[in-house]
Structure 1
Amino acid sequence: MTPPAAWADLPFFRDNWPALQQRLSETPGWLPGPDRIFAALAATTPARTRVVILGQDPYPTPGHANGLAFSVNPDVPLPRSLKNIFREMRDDLGHSPATGDLSHWADQGVLLMNTSLSVPPGQAGAHARWGWAELARQAVARAQQHGPLAFILWGGHAQKALSGLPRRNDLTLATAHPSPLSARRGFFGSRPFSRVNDWLVAQGHAPIDWVA
């Protein structure tokens, strides 16, 4: 459970991580497990991060979480929120990925971070008060040092968790969550994927290949 080198000097890893790591060592079977806990940070560096998508915590079903927000392993059926994300992508771009593994987004500089990086099986949100949230804020603030970012903030949790961080030169797309309970309240029809790509191109960056 070693923090990725590019992020290891964040104050969180000095001030918060030792106690949290101890708690995890005393908690059997938590997800996504030690080898994937920092997958979102390992997949990109602060300098390469161009887009931020924030989730809440890993999927609590064993075998589903792979350490990236909203992502599942390739052989896992799509969770309901991810089904709606792909539905909106098809409406927006005409296509969606073949599986729910979103690692190809992360490889292109999309920080797929959860506010909590661990969860016990079957107990969504159980580690939400363990002190994880500060890591997401620090990681985003560090990435902002390298230039403007596009924020895709789905739902009140993400919007509150990163409140005050998006700047005037960042792109902020804040809508309802893709959950079946709220997707029709502003998520469907928001076209975040094309809007982010239009903004990236205007910034002089390559667009994200969301479908590959």
Structure 2
Amino acid sequence: MHQVPLFPDNPTDNTLNSLLGPHLKALHPDWQAALRQPEPREALVGLNQFLKQRLLAGARIFPRRPFRALDHLTPDQVRVVILGQDPYHGPGQAQGLAFSVPDTTDCPPSLRNIFKELAQEYPGTPLRRRNDLSDWADQGVLLLNTSLTVEAHQPASHAKKGWETVTDALIACVAGTARPKVFLLWGSHAQAKRSLIEASAHGPHLVLLANHPSPLSALRPPRPFIGCNHFLQASTWLEAQGSGTLQWLSNGPVGGA
């Protein structure tokens, strides 16, 4: 997997402490190329101005590393894409990986339902105990929120500020690579990206739909998240495509995080 210079994690403070320039310079050239297209480039200029204003106003912005989901991977290395909406807005939660939180943090309800679904799909195996999903990223799982920053205790506070244009460019970049990949689209927000994925697709991709794992929707028909079998389907399909399998249940140490 691609490794880049990382912004050191601070276990007691996950607030953003710089503008986007240094983070963008640390990205792999293939991600940089996707973001140099006119629309995402313009959006990033606006985002930088917005973030500067909010930081000067004293806002606490999470996470410390907005582009962390890209640290582990080049576009060609992505095997699975899981789309979230925006980062967790509680102190110490957001890591820059959709749905993931540090192991020292309580498991959020949506992540708890993800683990519940894993236990259903893989009966008889040890339950996953790790809240940190870095091991998934190390295996080629892109855990991408569609907004990459948020303010403390204000969900969706940075939605519609330009991040969606940036992450659309990243999604299109990934879909446009030839390597077979699976897109797990949970909830209407993620499913709205289906047309973008299909329009950008180059190569065999599998798109799976279900409700969001939130307790508010996880059991709701017609596509309940609990019982969707997405993890098993993704692993089986990738193996059939010659792209290897995935270890979703690892409880061991995370490397390269």
Match for residue 109 of structure 1?
A: 140
- Alpha-carbon shift at residue 67 of structure 1 (Å): 0.5
RMSD: 1.5
Unaligned segments of structure 1, at least 5 residues: none
1:45 pairs with one of 74, 78, 82: 74
8 Å CA contact 2:46, 2:162 repeated in 1: no
Give the Cα separation in 2 of the matches to 1:42 and 1:13: 19
8 A Cα contact 2:67 2:148, kept in partner: yes
Output one character per residue of 1:10-65: Cα deviation in whole Å (capped at 9) or x when no partner.
225522212211211221310113xx110011121101001000000000001000
Query: What is the one-letter code of the residue matched to 1:204?
Result: G
Matched, 1:148 2:183: no
Rounded Cα–Cα distance in structure 2 between residues aligned with 1:57 and 1:162:
18
* 1:150-189 to 2 correspondences below 5 Å: 150-166=182-198, 167=201, 169-185=204-220, 186-189=224-227
Q: 1:115–1:161: 8 Å Cα contact kept in structure 2?
A: no
Tell me the percent identity: 42
Task: State how far apart, in whole Å, the 1-side matches of 2:72 and 2:51 are.
Answer: 22
Distance 1:110 1:100, change over 3 A: same
Q: Within 1, Cα distance between the matches of 2:52 and 2:227?
A: 43
* 1:58 aligned residue (84, 87, 95): 87
> Quick one: distance in 2 between partners of 1:119 and 1:177?
19
Q: Tell me if structure 2 keeps the 8 A contact 1:49–1:109.
A: yes
- The SS at the match of 1:163 is helix
Asked if 1 retains the 8 angstrom alpha-carbon contact of 2:180 and 2:243, the reply is no
TM-score, structure 2 length as denominator?
Answer: 0.78
Structure 1 distance, partners of 2:119, 2:69, is 25
Mean Cα deviation higher: 104-113 or 88-97: 88-97
**Secondary structure of 2:136's match?**
helix
Q: 1:13-24 residue pairs with structure 2 within 5 A?
A: 14-24=41-51
Give the number of aligned pairs.
210
Paired letter, 2:136:
W
CA distance in 1, matches of 2:63, 2:216: 25
Q: Distance in 1 between matches of 2:133 and 2:76?
A: 20
Unpaired runs of at least 5, structure 2: 1-19, 251-257
* Aligned partners of 1:149 and 1:171 also within 8 Å: yes
